[in-house]
Every structure is written in C-alpha cells, then in structure tokens.
Chain A
C-alpha cells in the first residue's frame, strides 16, 4: 500500500520518468571518466570511446540515463542522433587545453542551436582542475562565450574527475533544475 502511494506521488511529481542526460565534449576531455565516477564512484582507466557508453544510475531518487558520446572528430557528427528527449547536456571541457577552447566553443554553440535541445539544461564542467595551468571556471566561461546564452538554464563548475572535486556539486545543480522544470 505504501508502495502504491509512493508511486502515486512519484507520478504526481513526474519523478519515475527516466531522465536522459548527454555528456558531450571534445576528445580527451574526461567524459567517460566522469560517467564512471558518477556510476561507480571511482576512477577507472579508459580508452578513447569509439561510439558511446550508456549507464543508468539513480541520483536523489531520480533515475538517470547517462549517455557518454565519443568526442573524436569522426564521431561528433553522430551526436545529433541522440539529442531527442534529452533533459540536460553536460559539456566537459579540458581546462588545460587552451589551444582547442575555440573548437570546443564552436561545437557547443552549434549543438545548442539544435531544435531538440531547446529545452534542455546545460552544465559545463571545467575539468582537469587538478592539473597545473588549468584555466579557472570563469576563464573557461569567457572562452566558451557562455554569457551569450539566452533562454537557457546553464552553469559552469570547476571540476576534477580524478579526485572528484566539483562533480557532485555540478550534478546537484543540474538535478535541481530538472526537478524544477518537471514540477512546472
């Protein structure tokens, strides 16, 4: 009976619906590491993703379907095949890779123009903060021209997938936004 009520409430809040989240970004930014840091809570060794990884995880009573798509140039064109029904996009940037900030910015803005992603929230991880010479979150934000974004909930968080810094903080923000949106 209790179960019944809880599922009633869930339905009321729209919580039992799977939430689809994409993790995107250039190759070597740390997308796969973040995915498995979220799922198993530790750092695993990864190799360049040919295609995608998908994991289901529960975070604060919310069932998340997290898709980590490969970031190599050859795979980027296929990102769009996975845009539909996406609640949020996590864009991962290698903060030490100053040379490719421009490319990252272009890819990000191109992606956000897509019709299917108009309502999804954006979380940017300025990753690899543990390495020396990493740009700060605000510097990355400036490089990516995030301030140009209108009509979208977005946030940037300095993170390190290696030691876990900032990951949960970022996800908490994202979940709040998603829940807010579902209640409205």
Chain B
C-alpha cells in the first residue's frame, strides 16, 4: 500500500476494523456477537465512506475471511450482516463466486428472515456463466407467499437481466403472477398478529417490482406492452409505485406510437374494453390518473402529458399542477414546479393563463430551491413588462451552485430577447459573485451570445467587453480566463477598434501576471491587434520562460510577416468541413495500416490518400484496406488483412454479382461504406445498411445497398418490404434471425422506406438519406 492511501485514511479507523475483521473471523470457534459488531462497523465504513476505502486486494481478503463465517449456522442476525456486507463487497472484491454454493444452500433450505437477504446477495455473486444454476431457486422464491421473499427474488431477476436475460425470460410467468397476487405482509404471520406497516405505500410492493421486470422483458414488443397495460389496469394494481410505473408504460407506448391516442385509432379494438363514449382509451387512462388522489401518480401523468404534448389533457394538467403549488408538502411543491419549469417554454400560453399568479407567490417560498425554480419558470415566459422586476427578484446568494446554473440557463434562453437588461445583470453576477468554474463559464457563454448577435445593440456590446477586461484582472479560474482572452481577441478589434489600446493593456497585464496557459492564450489574443502589439510580441518571443508561449509568439509573428495584409483571421487555418476531415483521417489510418503491414518503408504516397475524397463522390469513399486491394486486382482476398472479413465480403459481393448480372454489368467494386446502424438497439427490428459502389469505367457508377435486418421480437414476421416496390423482399424472418437484402439505387427510387407487416401490424421506417 502506498503512503498516499495511508494518508487518506489517517482520520478513520478503517485499518483497525480491517485488521480486526481478518483476525476475528479466522478464529476457531468464532464469537458471533463480536463478529456481528465488527461487521456492523465494517458495513458503516463501506456505506458512509464508499467502497473505495479498501482496494481490491483488501476487499478480496475481507470477503474470504467473511466467507468463513458461513460455518456458523443458526444465527440469523449474524448471517444477515454477512449478507449485507458481501453484497456491498461483491462489486469490488474478486472471486465472490466462492460464496455461491453456501448462499444457494440458505436460499434452498431456510425459510426465515434471512432468505430475502440471501436471494439479494445471490444475484451479486453470480456471473453470466453461473446464473442459470440459480433459475430454479429464483423460481421457487418468486412464487413464495411471503412478499419480501417474492420481492427480493423479482428485484434480483431485474438485476440479473443484463447478464442472463434468457434465464429471466423463463421466469416471466411466475413474475407476472406476482402482479395479480396481492402478497401482503399482514396475513403472512403464522400467529395471526399484524405486523405494523411503517410505510403504507409499500403495501403490495411485489406488484411494483413484478411490473417493472415484466416491462423490461417486453420492452421491444409493442403489442405485448399494450396487452400489459390493459391486463393490469388500476383495478388490479393496488400499489402506488406500480400505478406510477403503469402510467410510465402508457407514456412510453404513446411516445413510440402517437397514433395510439388518435380518435378511433386502429389499435383500439386490440383486447380493449369497448369504450362507451368516443374518447380514446389511453387518454381515458391518463385522465383517470390525473384525478386519482395519489400525488405521485398525478405528477407522473402531468409529466407524460406535457412531454408528449397531449393537447386534450393539457388544461387539466395545468389545473392539477396549479393546485399542487399551494400544498403544504415541500416535496410535492418542488416536484410540480420542476415539471412546470421544464415545460415552461413549450406552453407559455397555459402558463400565463393559469399558473403565473401562483408562481409569483412562490418566489418568496421559504425553500430556496422552489423559489429559484419559480423565478426561472417565470423568466421563461417573461415579457418586457415584468422582466426587470423579475431579475431584481433573483436572490442568487442563498442558493446552491446547481441552482445558480439553472438560473443562468434560463437567462440564456432570454438573452436574445432582452440583451441589455440581462447582460447587465450577468456582468454584475460575474464580477461580484462567488461561484464554481461551471457557473462562471455559463455566464461567459451567455455574454458571448450577446456579442455574437447580429443586432446593433448600441453600447451594450462594448460595455460587456470592457467589463470582461475588468473581470480578468481578478479571476481565479484559468479556464475562464483563457476563454475570455479569446473573446477579447475575437471581438475587441471588430466591435471597438478605437479602444484597442485598452484591450491590449488588459491582455498584456495577463502576460505579466499569469501562468503559462493563460500567457499562451494572451499571446494569441494580442496577435489579433497586430498594429499595436508587434513589439510586445517580439519581447514575449525573446523573454518568456515558457516554450509554448515563446513558440506561439514566434508563430504569430512569422504569420504576420508572411501575409502582407495582417488581418485578424491571419491565424485561422482554412478549415475543411468536419466530416470531410474525419473521413480523411480514416482513409489515412487504413493507408498507414497497409503501409505498416507491408513492411516496405521505402515509399509512401501521400497523394493517394486524398484521391478517393476528391473523386467527387463524397458519400461513398470509405475504403477499407484489404478490400481496395481486392478491387484493384483480382477478387482474391489480399493477404495483409483479416481474411475472415474478406471472405464475408467476398460472399456478399458474389451475391450482388449474381443478382445484378455479374462484373460485366456492374463493373468492379470500388469501395464499401462502413456498416451504419439505422435504428437504435432497442427497436423491434435492428437494421444496418451498407453501400457498395461499383464502377464500370470512368463514368458509370452503381450503388448497391445491403440492408441487414434483424428481428428482435419473439415471434416470426412475414412480408417485409423495402422501398416503394410491392415485391416482398423477405418472406419470413424468424426471431433473432438476421438476413441480408440487396437493392440497387434505382430500385429504391429515392424513397428510403422500410415497411414491415406482421399479423396486420405494420411498421414503417423512413430514412431521409442513406
């Protein structure tokens, strides 16, 4: 252990606890009471000081010594502590797998208070190769009558999802049973006495957990989710967390397919109850949630409605939120104002009509966070009449840095509307207020926005510049200083050329007083005032102690000497577009790889690199190393790159030739674009596209698209069509199958539409360009 780690621990007694643990747990026989006390102390250290207190090696030895406590059976309170600590250690310690068998034995045999702990710990020690062995145990726990065991098991399966989703999928029926079975603590006690419920919200908690896991399992299956919403409506769901989750589910469905809430949407017959009136059932669900007297549910519905802009419910939602603004519970007020703040800019009309009055009273709320949000919300919908008074109301001193930043963010959106008022306020804030780097940077960003704006703002811009000059005299953050120096260099000569000497003086002061990073930035800024600063730069070039600063001075001077008309932009390199640049680099990289692999270091032709870029076909110019070789020569895979890849390509190329009449029609393969993912990985179908460019002679080019379509649903889909043609390209796609479709550019006819039809459910992907 290094001296540094010792130093960091000097204040605590972690090392004593660590040593005590090792010796006490290795005793034989152990003293359970002593062990439990020690474990409690260790647990406290782990929880309060974080896992980083001990390094991996220490954690591992702690784990092994704790594992020795498994020999002490029939002591539930000790075992519970053991589980708690192992659960914490498992993320850092190696080899926690060693506890698997012992934990499994507890899960299997014991029916007592430690079982939930055992189940929860079990998931932490399993990995993908051993998870399947816990399947039977998890299944029996999931169907347990005891809600805490069932919940533990369901939550554990949720955590296992990323490493063993197949195993958890097999538990889905048992999990879903938990949604309907109302498992309650009260009836469980064999003696019949009631367990006091400390948290009324936690009644039927397993319902919430089960719904969460079921959602995770079905999240790629839209129809399955719709069924879930109908199957478990509020008549089934009794737990309020489950209800919130249910609302989220509805929101998620609507977000993915807005047509669900259209009147008489063609999905409404899908397993739904016949609706008595004409209102869409999903709207009805949300309306119900808004009236339900559970604040968490109401807030969730508000969030969904505002986010998805469900026009029909907006008025109702604003009513609800407005009523929340005056409840005594701080948390509810905070939640409501936070939602309002987030969507203030989207619904300024509603805000003004129904809420602004409430908000004005909240400005003086005793909770500073709430009052900050109230002000920023008002700012977002503010107009010329009240903006000055609002800004005067901002009490920035009492709030935490995070909220200061929120205020600045909301001002940023207003800066274009009221540049004078706000920039004055910001300048004051910048100069007279303490704050973090982020806070100061945000302010500078806002001010730069003002400087950048095209409008003629009179003296505002020059005032900002002068104030920035003032500010850098006393600024503690290098990052901010560098940024401001750049701004002065950039805008000083443009906006306020007559005052150049003022800027030069302030910038040059930095050269004398600050660290080398700031000095380098100052040199560049000075070079923007070439008429005044040539001599200064010469002095810096000769005298500065830092290489970088001298180098920069030398460069700007030599630049100035070269260009006859020294302009402010003399330094800026002519930029290629970013995309082009990145492509160049990729081509260069592949060329360099070939160069290194060939081992022939005598020649390297640089011009060859820019050739594909300049060939005019900017879309398809990514040349992969091995393939280009095969395209120029015969179709033998070239020896200098991974042959498996080449063979795969060769197969694809053969297929293309086969479909489109061979090399005589298409010509030679010139290049292949990188595989591009068109969908995100959570959609029903994952689609990749890749372009193959063939060239007959110098003029005729053909682009062939290769679509790789993968079905992630758990049922097969039929009749997949791509493009506007009516031909079915894929007749059947099994779950998890991946298939290739080839289409030429002509066949697509500039319509990049993929159409899937499965059991009357249609999905359309449209892409603007490929």
Contacts and interface: CB of A to CB of B under 8 A. Distances in A.
Interface of A: 17-18, 20, 47, 49-54, 56, 63, 65, 67, 70, 74-75, 78, 81-82, 84-85
B73 interface: yes
B98 A52 contact: yes
B29 A18 contact: yes
A65 B28 CA distance: 9
Contact of B101 (A18, A56, A70): A70
B127 to A, nearest CB: 10
Nearest to A54: B71
Interface in B56-87: 64, 67-68, 70-71, 73
Contacts of A82: 64, 68
Interface string B5-40: 000000000000000000000101100000000000
B95 interface: yes
A46 B637 CA distance: 53
B681 interface: no
Contacts of A52: 67, 70, 98, 101-102
A74 B130 CA distance: 12
A34 to B, nearest CB: 15
Interface string B96-116: 011111101100000000000
Given A18-B28, A84-B26, A56 B102 contact: no
- Please list the 8 inter-chain residue pairs (A to B) with the smallest Cβ-Cβ separation, ordered nearest first: A51-B101, A50-B100, A51-B98, A81-B64, A54-B71, A51-B100, A18-B29, A49-B101
A51 B101 CA distance: 5
B95 A67 contact: no
B133 interface: yes
Given A47-B133, A70-B101, A54 B28 contact: no
Given A20-B28, A75-B98, A50 B73 contact: no
A51 B64 CA distance: 11
Given A52-B102, A67-B71, 19 more contacts: A17-B28, A47-B133, A50-B101, A50-B133, A51-B67, A51-B97, A51-B102, A53-B105, A56-B73, A63-B29, A65-B71, A70-B101, A75-B98, A78-B95, A78-B98, A81-B98, A82-B68, A84-B26, A85-B26
Contacts of A50: 97-98, 100-101, 104, 130, 133
B133 A54 contact: no
A35 to B, nearest CB: 11
Nearest to B134: A50
Instruction: Give the size category of B's interface with A.
Output: 20 to 34
Contact of B70 (A47, A54, A63): A54
A124 to B, nearest CB: 23
Contacts of A75: 97-98
18 contacts: A50-B100, A51-B98, A51-B100, A51-B101, A51-B102, A52-B67, A52-B98, A52-B102, A53-B102, A53-B105, A54-B102, A56-B73, A65-B71, A67-B71, A75-B97, A78-B64, A82-B64, A84-B26
B130 to A, nearest CB: 6
A183 to B, nearest CB: 19
A145 B139 CA distance: 47
A51 B68 contact: no
Contacts of A81: 64, 98
A169 B97 CA distance: 34
A54 to B, nearest CB: 4
A82 B100 CA distance: 16
Interface of B: 26, 28-29, 64, 67-68, 70-71, 73, 95, 97-102, 104-105, 130, 133
A17 B29 CA distance: 7
Contacts of B71: 54, 56, 65, 67
A58 to B, nearest CB: 13
Contacts of B104: 50
A81 B101 CA distance: 16
Contacts of B99: 51
Nearest to A49: B101
A123 B105 CA distance: 27
Contacts of A70: 101
B278 to A, nearest CB: 59
Nearest to B26: A84
Contacts of B105: 53
A53 B101 contact: yes
A71 to B, nearest CB: 12
A48 B382 CA distance: 70
Nearest to B72: A56
Nearest to A75: B98
A84 B27 CA distance: 10
A54 B28 CA distance: 14
B246 to A, nearest CB: 38
Contacts of A20: 28
A84 B95 CA distance: 19
Nearest to B103: A51
A63 B73 CA distance: 14
Contacts of B28: 17-18, 20, 65, 85
A119 B105 CA distance: 31
Contacts of A18: 28-29
Nearest to B30: A18
A85 B359 CA distance: 71
A32 to B, nearest CB: 8
A173 B231 CA distance: 66
A52 B68 CA distance: 10
B638 to A, nearest CB: 41
B592 to A, nearest CB: 41
Contacts of A67: 71
Contacts of B70: 52, 54
A122 B64 CA distance: 24
